[in-house]
């Protein structure tokens, strides 16, 4: 597969959502975080995804994140907005709000809570696309929604011109290879992005165009440099940078409970002085030892 830049490519961080408390956006923290990742050379921003705790945020906070992010970015990079929801009408309402604000595209995982088979998922996607005012990236996130967007389903959906790509956070490279085959054979205009950051090199080798890497909230330049090394075929440089990515990944094992990836990212952002480690979801709280371990990892990677 050609690695020529697609519509959305490179490193697009799934932006964390800085909070004052569970229901209040930290506006200054959001501003600092946006400037931090943009200074690292990222190629786009994805708000209200999993790392952004989109499903756990009040509707007013979701809209504030969309509005303030788009205003501050001011066209410097594309802004993608997560609209995953259990209710189709609510996904469409947020998509319209994002479109009115100037978002470049929306991203949607299948409705969660009630599991669905592949044929109902196809009907959901076609109904969603029919009402969208923006291009759509599909989002395979089986850990959270309990269903997989199978490659054959994605192939059937490739007849929809409104779909412009797919973000895969399933962690199964065989499935990713199936998506890559669909892109290669049917929709070479699509963007194919990997979620699990440790798989960025493998995804690139399979035809991926970049990554939606949570760690890029913390150290954006690391991931941007890795992506650049992969694109120019600098294997030695890529191997060295990948080792730092894996070392940064120790942030996600400091906590011991579900949600530890988000907790690790927010703990690192707190160590950097960007925002607090407050989460919207009901995750574990970091104690003094946890915070010290996270700060040490952040310092190590920075040097």
Phi and psi, residue 269, nearest 5°: -65, -35
pLDDT tens track for 120-130: 999 999 999 99
Structure-token pair, residue 247? 């070392």
pLDDT of amino acid 7: 82
CATH number of residue 216's parent domain: 3.20.20.70
66 neighbors 73 (Cβ within 8 angstroms) = no
In a domain, 248, yes or no: no
Q: What is the DSSP letter of 56?
A: G
Residue 207 CA to chain centroid, in angstroms?
18
H or E stretch at 206: none
Tokens representing residue 263 in the block: 């907790």
Q: Is residue 41 in a domain?
A: yes
* 3 domain-assigned: no
Q: Which residue ranges of the chain lie beneath pLDDT 50? A: 1-5
d(CA 145, CA 78): 26
In a domain, 15, yes or no: yes
Say what the pLDDT of residue 6 is: 56
- Residue 17 resides in a domain: yes
CA-to-CA dists, residue 122 to 118, 147, 151, 200, 249, angstroms? 6, 12, 12, 28, 34
Are the beta carbons of 140 and 153 closer than 8 angstroms?
A: no
User: Any idea what DSSP says for residue 46?
Assistant: E
Residue pLDDT, tens place only, 96-112: 999 999 999 999 999 99
Please tell me the pTM assigned to this model.
Answer: 0.96
Residue 167, φ and ψ in degrees, nearest 5: -105, 125
Q: Residue 110 falls within a domain, yes or no? A: yes
| pLDDT for res 196 | 98
H helix or E strand, kind and range, residue 92: helix 88-101
Domain count, the chain: 1
Domain that holds residue 184: 10-235
The catalytic residue positions are: 139, 167
Residue 109 lies in a domain: yes
- The pLDDT value recorded for residue 1 is 34
Dihedral-angle region of residue 207 (phi above 0 means left; psi in -120 to 50 means alpha; beta otherwise): left
Three-state secondary structure call for residue 273? coil
Residue 290 lies in a domain: no
Question: What is the pLDDT, as a whole number, of residue 303?
Answer: 82
């Amino acid at each position: 597969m050609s690695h020529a830049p697609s519509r959305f490519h490179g490193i697009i961080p799934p932006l964390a959502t800085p909070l004052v408390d569970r229901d209040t956006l930290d506006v200054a923290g959001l501003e600092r975080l946006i400037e931090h990742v943009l200074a690292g050379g990222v190629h786009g921003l994805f708000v209200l995804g999993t790392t952004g705790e989109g499903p756990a945020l009040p509707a007013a906070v979701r809209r504030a994140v969309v509005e303030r992010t788009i205003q501050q970015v001011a066209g410097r990079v594309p802004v993608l907005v997560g609209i995953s929801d259990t209710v189709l009408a609510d996904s469409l309402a947020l998509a319209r709000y994002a479109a009115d604000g100037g978002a470049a595209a929306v991203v949607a995982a299948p409705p969660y809570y009630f599991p669905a088979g592949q044929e109902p998922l196809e009907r959901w996607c076609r109904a969603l696309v029919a009402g969208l005012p923006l291009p759509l990236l599909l989002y395979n996130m089986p850990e959270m929604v309990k269903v997989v967007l199978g490659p054959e389903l994605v192939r059937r959906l490739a007849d929809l011109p409104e779909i412009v790509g797919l973000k895969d956070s399933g962690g199964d490279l065989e499935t990713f290879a199936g998506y890559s085959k669909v892109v290669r054979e049917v929709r070479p205009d699509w963007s194919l992005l990997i979620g699990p950051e440790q798989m960025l090199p493998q995804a690139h080798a399979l035809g991926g165009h970049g990554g939606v890497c949570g760690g890029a909230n913390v150290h954006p330049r690391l991931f941007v440099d890795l992506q650049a090394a992969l694109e120019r075929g600098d294997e030695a440089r890529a191997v060295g940078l990948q080792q730092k990515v894996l070392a940064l990944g120790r942030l996600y094992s400091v906590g011991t409970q579900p949600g530890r990836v988000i907790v690790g990212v927010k703990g690192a952002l707190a160590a950097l002085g960007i925002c607090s480690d407050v989460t919207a979801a009901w995750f574990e709280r970091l104690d003094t030892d946890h915070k010290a371990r996270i700060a040490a990892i952040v310092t190590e990677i920075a040097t």
